[in-house]
Structure 1
């Protein structure tokens, strides 16, 4: 089964490039099948990782950035492939 982990954070105004650089620099202790980093208006950064694992498997996730970089706690979602 393929599981996708989504990690989304919103930077403080004007600090989107810093948050994007921070997210890109975060290493995971294991290599996912795929990793994609995206950005959106309002200084939002989204990281999606894909894993070959059971839905409830313990998988590595990106940590919380320092509180002085973001406006709120990170949002996290887990999805399983429907195909």
Structure 2
């Protein structure tokens, strides 16, 4: 089953991104800031694709991409075919 992971493309300390992750995915602010400080190695979202919850996962991924596009911050994604 394919698995996708998303991170910020570069190191950032943008508190608005940390707040988004906190509100949308219930991540702690400190935890999200640590992930963002790792840049493209700090995957803050990982999921298996094409499972029974694919509709929710698709919405999550679209929300992340939309948010990063709106604030003109590049994101990085990685897909692993497992």
TM-score range, shorter chain: 0.3 to 0.5
TM-score normalised per structure 2: 0.46
Larger Rg: 1
Query: Structure 1 or 2: larger strand share?
Result: 1
Q: What TM-score results when the alignment is normalised by the length of structure 1?
A: 0.46
